[in-house]
Amino acid sequence: MTFKELGVIEPILKALAEKGYTQPTPIQAQAIPVLLKGKDLLGSAQTGTGKTAAFTIPILQHLAEGVPPKKQRKIQALIITPTRELAIQIDDNIRAYAQHTDIRSTVIFGGVKQESQVKTLKRGVDVLTATPGRLLDLINQGFISLKNVNHFVLDEADQMLDMGFVHDIKKILKKLPQERQSLFFSATMPKSIIELSKQILGDFERVNIAPQQTTAERVDQAIYFVPKKNKTKLLVHVLKTEPFETVLVFSRTKHGANKIVKKLSQAGIQSAAIHGNKSQNQRQKVLNEFKDGKINVLVATDIAARGIDVSQLSLVVQFDLPNVPETYVHRIGRTGRAKASGNAIAFCDKDERPYLKSIEKLIDQRLPVVKHEFNEVVAEEGDSSSAKPQKKSYKPNSRRNSNSRNKKKSN
Ligand code: AMP
């Protein structure tokens, strides 16, 4: 299958070739023909699958066939995404794919001054990528009208809800024309997401890529039972004993992320934090350093981690277990992208045991437990973590055979 066979037009084909895309990814092969027909789409897909090109290429193609003269440019396509990093990444993609067309795009997000964003908007754009808060802000100030939007994309819907954007999304929906093509993407599909999608989509087709089970099965996972106070020591131990090149550590809070970076630094491990309290420039700088291999360990909150597009992520560490089990799956999906296998470990303290239960139920797997010297808790009876603490270091891709807890539940 080629992009040409999917019906993509010449100027976009040229740009894709220049990007080095030789063939469509599965989500592109499925979504592009549906979207070129003008249908609505519900996509269950994570970043790393080629999702951005899957939805931007058909939109650009629709617009390329009817871009008005510059003076009359109106926003015809709107893409909403939860974080600044993702917004920037999407607009970068759009610019690349549209470079041989007359289409103009821009991106807006909060946390920076609005002047230059407003200036670009005033010159007229066809495609706008935005985070919800700044979008509403500029709509309310009269700088943006959504009256001419024919294509609407809600990206990373599950994260939008997690971040409390539901009211903003509903306000934005009210400002959109009824007649439009709508696309809805979410990495996970809990009930709340399905409900929201019903309010947005008309008659839609569904595309399912990398379902949760596939990610959970592909990634080599392990759990470390550890008291909260020993988590940093354990992290240092893992990072010092295992040769991982690019490590993404998830922290529940921004404060926690900063603390981890400080403790790692005291132990001689260089890392950087990325979260919402950092300025846009700081975040972009850290991301670039991580991508270029100048920093090996990045400590991120869930929100900030959404924008991290690193194909060679070798280890994901969940320093805190999330209370939403789907988030666990999404986090481990940051490693082992496409068909590659990845490594993911999680630290679980006493209070996080109920979260672990929900996670294991969702992925239908018992996670293998790694024994180590930093677990001094007496665990529950019958639990394999109750075994006497002993030193055993983490061995990527070798635990599956070494622990009895990793067997799939028989029911
Ligand atoms: P996404 O899931 O949209 O974040 O894309 C993940 C990565 O895959 C990005 O770095 C894209 O540039 C890249 N990509 C998307 N489509 C293709 C393709 N057909 N061939 C090769 N790389 C691609």
Round to whole Å and give the CA distance between 340 and 95. Answer: 28
> Nearest C-alpha to atom 21 of ligand 1 is from which residue?
21
Which residue matches tokens 């132990």? 267
**SS3 call for 150:** coil
Instruction: Please say if the pLDDT value at position 344 is more than 60.
Output: yes
Instruction: Please say if the pLDDT value at position 154 is more than 50.
Output: yes
The per-residue pLDDT for 385 is 39
The per-residue pLDDT for 174 is 96
* 81 within ligand 1 shell (Cβ under 6 A): no
Burial code (b: 16+ CB inside 10 Å, e: under 16) for 342-357 equals bbbbbbbbeebeebbe
* 168 within ligand 1 shell (Cβ under 6 A): no
CATH class, 215-386 region: alpha beta
Who has greater pLDDT, 394 or 41? Answer: 41
> Nearest C-alpha to atom 14 of ligand 1 is from which residue?
50
The per-residue pLDDT for 408 is 36
CA 366 to centroid of chain Cα atoms: 25
Give backbone dihedrals phi and psi of 372, rounded to 5 degrees, phi first.
-160, 170
CATH number at 10-208: 3.40.50.300
Q: What is the mean pLDDT of residues 125-139?
A: 97
**Ranges 195-199, 282-286, 394-398, most confident:** 195-199
Model pLDDT for residues 44-81, shown as the tens digit of each residue? 887 778 899 999 999 999 999 875 655 678 999 999 99
Q: Do 10-208 and 215-386 come out as alike in CATH topology?
A: yes
Q: What is the mean pLDDT of residues 258-274?
A: 94
> Nearest C-alpha to atom 10 of ligand 1 is from which residue?
309
Report domain extents, the chain: 10-208, 215-386
> Nearest C-alpha to atom 11 of ligand 1 is from which residue?
50
Tokens of 230: 């020993």
Question: CB-based burial of residue 311 (10 Å sphere; 0-12 exposed, 13-18 middle, 19+ buried)?
Answer: exposed
121 CA to centre of ligand 1 in angstroms: 27
Confidence of residue 331 (pLDDT cuts 50, 70, 90): confident
Round to whole Å and give the CA distance between 54 and 209. Answer: 12
**SS3 call for 264:** helix
Q: What is the mean pLDDT of residues 293-300?
A: 90
Lowest mean pLDDT among 33-47, 188-202, 394-408: 394-408
* 24 within ligand 1 shell (Cβ under 6 A): yes
48 CA to centre of ligand 1 in angstroms: 6
Specify the pTM: 0.62
Do the beta carbons of residue 46 and residue 333 sit within 8 Å?
yes
- Return the ligand 1 atom nearest residue 24 CA: 19
> Nearest C-alpha to atom 5 of ligand 1 is from which residue?
50
* 334 within ligand 1 shell (Cβ under 6 A): no
Model pLDDT for residues 183-228, shown as the tens digit of each residue? 999 988 888 888 999 999 999 999 987 554 456 667 889 999 999 9
CB-based contacts of 38-41 (< 8 A; 24+ apart in sequence): 38/62, 38/181, 39/181, 39/203, 39/204, 39/205, 40/181, 40/182, 40/183, 40/184, 40/201, 40/202, 40/203, 40/204, 40/205, 41/182, 41/183, 41/184, 41/201, 41/204, 41/205, 41/206, 41/207
